[in-house]
Chains A and B, each alone.
Chain A
Amino acid sequence: MLFTKSIPMFRQSRPPDPDQELVTRAQQGDTRAFDALILKYGDKLYGLVYNMTSHKEDTHDLLQEIFARAYQSLGKFKGNSAFYTWIYQIAVNLTLNFLKKRKRRTSVSLNDMESSVQQDPALIDTAHEANPEKQTNLNELQIKLNEALKKLSDPHRIVVTLFDIQGMSHGEIAKALSTSEGTIRSRLHYAHLQLQSALQNSWEERF
């Protein structure tokens, strides 16, 4: 029996993984290299998980689990995708599983982060001192936005978090969620429509 192998006309070349050196060192047992990866992606993963769970303690515990899972599975990471994509996949899967299991909490805690948001100098409007009313309106809008985000379903909230908040591309999100770009685009469109209508009244109050 003869087997013929088709050779692709074009090999798609992937840019080298910027984390390759750190990953290799971590796979060889260098814990500092893994620490560096935690520091590099920690804030982004924190943003992802917190915007999905709306709960600081759950976010902390989930992040410990995400990095533990990544650390334990590091030997199986073959570099078929960038480390960044791989750890995002772990984070998305663990977060969505967690949300499915979690009972609905009655206490609202996404807004307990509002105080730190308001104190974050990077977010403080430098014109605040001249226009404190503008800052107040912005904070109220942020609160309304958080409420609207929580009302989205998990699959819709996660695409908004990854695209609009984390700044990932459609392609990167599709890889992280193991779905097609088309699905991501239509979920985003729907989610934006929902947010648009939820913010309508608050938007009018600004003017």
Chain B
Amino acid sequence: MVDLEIPNRGWSVRVLFFMSLCFSLCHGQPSTDSSRWKVNFPALPDGKTSESTAVSVNERSAALVIVATGADATNATLKLGNHNVPVKMIGYDSVSRLGFIQASGGIAPETLNWSEAASKNENAALHAVEGGKSTTAQCAGWVKQVGGKILPFALLRVNFSQTVPTPGTPLFDNAERVVAVVFQSANSGNVGYAIPAEAVHRVKRDIFNGGLLNRGWLGIALRPESQTPKISRVLPGSPAEAAGVKQDDVLLSIGTRQIKEYADAANAFFYLIPGQSVDVKLRRGGEQLALSLTPIKP
């Protein structure tokens, strides 16, 4: 299906539509199947190149790509079959390494069904679709830290039946909804890490409304080395102070996310949206408190 953004204005559009259709028909419609898109990013100085496939995000004819560290996100090239297609980067987030591109010439990726959030079922059966081919996979839980380093948000660990697909490959559940996108191989057998759908939605929301991810800031300090998610400091004049949070309060939940350790808190904080209040449950001494906090832009 070829989607035209611009209204029908005359000859140039009809010619463009006809050319796109011919192109699509000749190549079995690779231009619309984003799983066949090959997006490359050149290396930054002292960096390295990055390759990604793409996933449609159903908005602005855009597709999601992964830009690995060390690659230049501003110079994407898209290859469909043997053809290079000019592409524009709408926006890119360096925290999640997610980029959103638009192909020129009216070439748009097909519409996909997206889940709101990745399944919490540890044994969830998934399948990855790359280059039009499907590979089975199995969700194997959340990964909150790698190599002793806490991640900015939790990733999914996925066991693939074959080699880990290219970064950017979508992972579908049995209802054919995209639940996650392959981020990279875990360098251990056929195990990979994937960015969950909720993280994609969070980043896309801000990228499509200004081009940058705006974190929600509360003014709460925590120490990663602490065994419990205890607040080590509340910054003066912060939303946390205004809501009545105090030093040594222990976080129990942020919104719907339960907090058992520091890494859970780091993950929950990633999803805060400036101006959108969130219910936070805390333990103070023997008491349990429920407060409403409204994050602001940092």
The reply, when asked whether chain A contacts chain B directly with Cβ atoms under 8 A, is: yes
Chain A residues near B (Cβ < 8 Å): 39-40, 43, 121-122, 124, 126, 129
Given A121-B123, A121-B159, CB of A43 within 8 Å of CB of B138: no
Report how far A129 CA is from B159 CA in the complex, Å: 19
Report how far A71 CA is from B122 CA in the complex, Å: 39
Quote the shortest CB–CB distance from A120 to chain B (angstroms). Answer: 8
State the total of A-B contacts with C-beta under 8 angstroms. 22
Q: Is B188 an interface residue (CB 8 A)?
A: yes
Q: How large is the interface on B (under 10, 10 to 19, 20 to 34, 35 or more residues)?
A: 10 to 19
Residue of B nearest to A122 (CB): B159
B186-198 toward A: CB 8 Å interface, digit per residue (1/0)? 0111010000000
Q: Which residues of A contact B187 (CB under 8 A)?
A: 39-40
Asked if A122 and B123 make an inter-chain contact with CB atoms under 8 angstroms apart, the answer reads no
Quote the shortest CB–CB distance from B131 to chain A (angstroms). Answer: 24
Q: Which residues of A contact B123 (CB under 8 A)?
A: 121, 124, 126, 129
Asked if B189 and A121 make an inter-chain contact with CB atoms under 8 angstroms apart, the answer reads no
Q: Is B141 an interface residue (CB 8 A)?
A: yes
Chain B residues near A (Cβ < 8 Å): 122-123, 125, 138-141, 159, 187-189, 191
Subset of 22 A-B contacts with CB under 8 Å = A39-B187, A39-B188, A40-B187, A43-B188, A43-B189, A121-B122, A121-B123, A121-B138, A121-B139, A121-B140, A121-B141, A121-B159, A122-B138, A122-B140, A122-B159, A122-B189, A122-B191, A124-B123, A126-B123, A126-B125, A126-B138, A129-B123
Q: Which residues of A contact B141 (CB under 8 A)?
A: 121
Q: Which residues of A contact B138 (CB under 8 A)?
A: 121-122, 126
Which 4 pairs of residues, A with B, have the shortest CB-CB distance?
A: A121-B140, A39-B187, A122-B159, A43-B188
Quote the shortest CB–CB distance from B165 to chain A (angstroms). Answer: 17
Q: Which residues of B contact A43 (CB under 8 A)?
A: 188-189
Residue of B nearest to A42 (CB): B188
Quote the shortest CB–CB distance from A80 to chain B (angstroms). Answer: 28
Quote the shortest CB–CB distance from B119 to chain A (angstroms). Answer: 13
Report how far A124 CA is from B139 CA in the complex, Å: 12
Report how far A126 CA is from B139 CA in the complex, Å: 12
Quote the shortest CB–CB distance from A44 to chain B (angstroms). Answer: 10
Q: Which residues of B contact A39 (CB under 8 A)?
A: 187-188
Quote the shortest CB–CB distance from A134 to chain B (angstroms). Answer: 15
Residue of A nearest to B157 (CB): A121
Most chain A beta-carbon contacts within 10 A, residue among B123, B139, B159, B191: B123
Quote the shortest CB–CB distance from A84 to chain B (angstroms). Answer: 16
Residue of B nearest to A128 (CB): B123
Report how far A43 CA is from B159 CA in the complex, Å: 15
Residue of B nearest to A43 (CB): B188
Q: Which residues of B contact A124 (CB under 8 A)?
A: 123
Apart from A39-B188, A126-B138, what 13 extra A-B contacts exist at CB < 8 Å?
A: A40-B187, A43-B188, A43-B189, A121-B122, A121-B123, A121-B139, A121-B141, A122-B138, A122-B140, A124-B123, A126-B123, A126-B125, A129-B123
Report how far A40 CA is from B140 CA in the complex, Å: 21
